[in-house]
A and B are shown apart, each in its own frame.
Chain A
Amino acid sequence: MQNEIKIISYRDALREALSEEMSRDPDVILMGEDLGIYGGGFGVTAGLLEKFGPSRVLDTPISESAFVGTAIGAAATGMRPVVELMFSDFMSVCWDQIMNEAAKMHYMYAGSLRVPLVIRTAAGGGTGAASQHSQSLEAMYCHVPGLKVVVPSTPGDAKGLLKSAVRDNNPVIFLEQKLLYNTKGPVPEGEYTIPLGKAEIRRKGSDVTLISYGRMVQMCLNVAEWLALDGISAEVLDLRTLSPLDTDAINASVCRTGRAVVVHESVQFGGFGGEIVSSIMEGEAFGYLRSPVKRVGGRFCPIPCSPEMERNVFPTPRRIEAAVLECFRK
């Protein structure tokens, strides 16, 4: 049966996923700062307190270590908590709980415990929130075995991936993109899930693959339109899940196009793009490459506040275009 499709915002799609999962499974609870009356840092949980009551929507003190750790302990004993961390930059405050507890418990305790936990958090820049509220730290999360890392780029994916994350039996870092909360798109009503670990081709192309995730996907799609005017057919691959990484999809696409440009807004140096490039260099696609693989990432500095500075710290359409054109230089 085909679900009816509505056009709703990324924020509303996330709320729909949470509401549906909470209705489906009484063990799903929400924990975090100002989730209830306030509706969460970005309004995602608005109305859920009224619908599910204070024993399902738990407002916490500003004690990230304690409430993330408490969610871990609850997950290990039978609940399925979804934690909201107001900004992903705050991950550092509770990183020990995530890295040393949540990520390791299943393995370290030889499979006797599992931690079905989702940490939803607002990531990325473009809002003028400056150095401590704008980062994209996915490389840090992906480096830790035991965590899954998801970055939805559309309202439909936001819903489908969040529902899958809630049902997953592992800790999932769910990186919501601040600048996407108000974007609208088609979202299937009711039951709709997207498996974790599967990339999606957003635009078919034959000359170059732009590999990206999160809010940079739309920028890549826009650049692909410009490139079409120059006669370059660009494919845009949206990774959607960074860990586990869909290296098959990356290699399949680059085998076809022979060129690849990796785009992410997080700092390029030591960034997750390096892992994506490695998956090509170590993979089947290496033999098909017609030019060196390029990266376009954030500049190597904390994120400044002033609008022009901030805009230029991240990849811009011009920088992406320039990187693609370099792939075609003889």
Chain B
Amino acid sequence: MTHSYTKDFYRDLLVNMLRVNRFEEAVKALYGRGLIHGTLHLCVGEEASVIGSTAALKAQDYILTTHRGHGECIGKGADLKAMMAEILGRAAGTNHGIGGSMHICDLEHGVIGSNGIVGAGVPTACGAALTILLKKIPDRVAVSYFGDGAANAGTVMESMNLAGLWKLPVIFILEDNHYAVSTPVERSAADPDLTKRGIPFGLKTYEADGNDVLAVYEAVADARASVLQGDGPCFIVLHTYRISGHSRSDQNVYRTEEELQYWKENGPIVRFREHLLKEGFSDKELDALEASVEREIEDVVTWALRQPLPDTDGMEELVYAR
């Protein structure tokens, strides 16, 4: 943490991290009450990587996120109420209830999709970058989020090659959250140093502590500036930890309670709070921020639960664009 930032900037980062955390906890609770139809992939523990990275992006930047995409969508500015309604399958959802948790889309905030096929959204981001390049759109980049599991998908490596070859204005952000479902990097990658994946394709590569929100922010901000200078695509590896289970069916059989406890105690929000105390915030101020986010999320849940389910008439009408 080399730079110093304004108090407002710090406050926004913390509030957004808290929003992600409380939103995910609220979704989990709703699921526990049997109110959510479908699966969930939550990102508790990854608040710094999703918020630090999206904070470094502009509203007009495109992002393609994954099945575990709530955090990036929130960071990019998607409406929490519409997101919650989507997860609850309501008509007022971001995708009118069609997409659910895994496919939140919000074009207005540059979220051009959340993808359920591991690694498959990566070329889509390259395509958005191609549009930016060909149409010479200033001050805009495309960002592809994926995980350590997707790093071994052929499509991801093909896309990195294409992006390097065509100097596409794209940033590949690999969120290494330790486990692909239950499989750790050491058991899925011949060389677990995933930063090397950018080398053969000539990608400018960054590595950051993905649980340090400022380190993430600085890496992504630097990468964005580099891409906008025309220096070609960048690759960023963020090391974080998924405290949430992989999905609703996860019984955490692949890790110990001690391991989980360690990461809970050293999670990104805990760490950032400590940093903010050093930067002159008071405990009282920070507690007030937490309380206000909790109220906000309670309102989101209350509102979303009141929304009607979508009409089943005309279910086939959206299949084709006019």
Residues of A within 8 A of B (CB): 29, 55, 58, 60-61, 63, 65-79, 96-97, 100-101, 105-116, 145-146, 148, 169-170
By a CB distance below 8 angstroms, the chain B residues around A69 are 120, 122-124, 126-127, 155, 159
* A106 to B113 Cα, complex, angstroms: 10
B190 beta carbon closer than 8 Å to chain A: no
B184 beta carbon closer than 8 Å to chain A: no
* A76 to B322 Cα, complex, angstroms: 14
By a CB distance below 8 angstroms, the chain B residues around A112 are 95, 105-107
By a CB distance below 8 angstroms, the chain B residues around A145 are 316, 319
B225 beta carbon closer than 8 Å to chain A: no
By a CB distance below 8 angstroms, the chain B residues around A170 are 320-321
Do residues A110 and B127 form an inter-chain contact, with CB atoms below 8 A?
no
Please tell me which one of the listed residues B113, B116, B120, B321 contacts residue A97 in the complex, with CB atoms under 8 A apart. B120
* A113 to B129 Cα, complex, angstroms: 16
Do residues B120 and A76 form an inter-chain contact, with CB atoms below 8 A?
no
B62 beta carbon closer than 8 Å to chain A: yes
Do residues B105 and A169 form an inter-chain contact, with CB atoms below 8 A?
no
B165 beta carbon closer than 8 Å to chain A: yes
Chain B, interface residues (CB within 8 Å), range: 35 or more
Do residues B126 and A73 form an inter-chain contact, with CB atoms below 8 A?
yes
Please tell me which one of the listed residues B116, B124, B127, B320 contacts residue A146 in the complex, with CB atoms under 8 A apart. B320
Do residues A77 and B128 form an inter-chain contact, with CB atoms below 8 A?
yes
Provide the B107-129 mask, 1 if CB < 8 A to any CB of A, else 0: 10000110111001111111111
Do residues B105 and A96 form an inter-chain contact, with CB atoms below 8 A?
no
Do residues A70 and B112 form an inter-chain contact, with CB atoms below 8 A?
no
* Closest A residue, CB atoms, query B320: A170
Residues of B within 8 A of A (CB): 62, 64, 94-96, 98-99, 103, 105-107, 112-113, 115-117, 120-132, 134-135, 142, 154-155, 158-159, 161-162, 165-166, 316, 318-322
By a CB distance below 8 angstroms, the chain B residues around A67 are 123, 162
What 19 additional pairs, Cβ within 8 angstroms, besides A70-B126, A107-B319, A111-B318?
Answer: A61-B165, A66-B123, A69-B123, A69-B126, A69-B155, A73-B123, A76-B124, A76-B128, A78-B135, A79-B127, A79-B130, A96-B155, A101-B120, A107-B318, A108-B103, A110-B95, A112-B105, A114-B321, A169-B322
* A169 to B116 Cα, complex, angstroms: 23
Do residues B161 and A63 form an inter-chain contact, with CB atoms below 8 A?
yes
Instruction: Give 20 pairs: A residue, B residue, CB < 8 Å, sorted on A.
Output: A66-B123, A66-B159, A69-B124, A69-B126, A69-B127, A70-B123, A70-B159, A70-B162, A71-B127, A72-B123, A76-B128, A77-B62, A79-B134, A96-B117, A97-B155, A106-B319, A107-B98, A109-B99, A112-B95, A113-B107
From residue B79, how far is it (CB to closest CB) to chain A in Å? 13
Please tell me which one of the listed residues A63, A75, A106 contacts residue B158 in the complex, with CB atoms under 8 A apart. A63
Do residues A77 and B322 form an inter-chain contact, with CB atoms below 8 A?
no
Do residues A60 and B162 form an inter-chain contact, with CB atoms below 8 A?
yes
By a CB distance below 8 angstroms, the chain A residues around B121 are 101
From residue A64, how far is it (CB to closest CB) to chain B in Å? 8
Do residues B117 and A63 form an inter-chain contact, with CB atoms below 8 A?
no
Do residues B127 and A75 form an inter-chain contact, with CB atoms below 8 A?
yes
Please tell me which one of the listed residues B98, B106, B128, B131 contacts residue A108 in the complex, with CB atoms under 8 A apart. B98
* Closest A residue, CB atoms, query B153: A65
By a CB distance below 8 angstroms, the chain B residues around A75 are 127
* A108 to B319 Cα, complex, angstroms: 9
Question: Given contacts A61-B165, A67-B162, A101-B120, is CB(A109)–CB(B127) below 8 Å?
Answer: no
Do residues B113 and A77 form an inter-chain contact, with CB atoms below 8 A?
no
By a CB distance below 8 angstroms, the chain A residues around B161 are 61, 63, 66
Max count, chain B CB within 10 A of own CB: residue among A67, A73, A106, A115: A73
* A75 to B322 Cα, complex, angstroms: 15
Do residues A65 and B320 form an inter-chain contact, with CB atoms below 8 A?
no
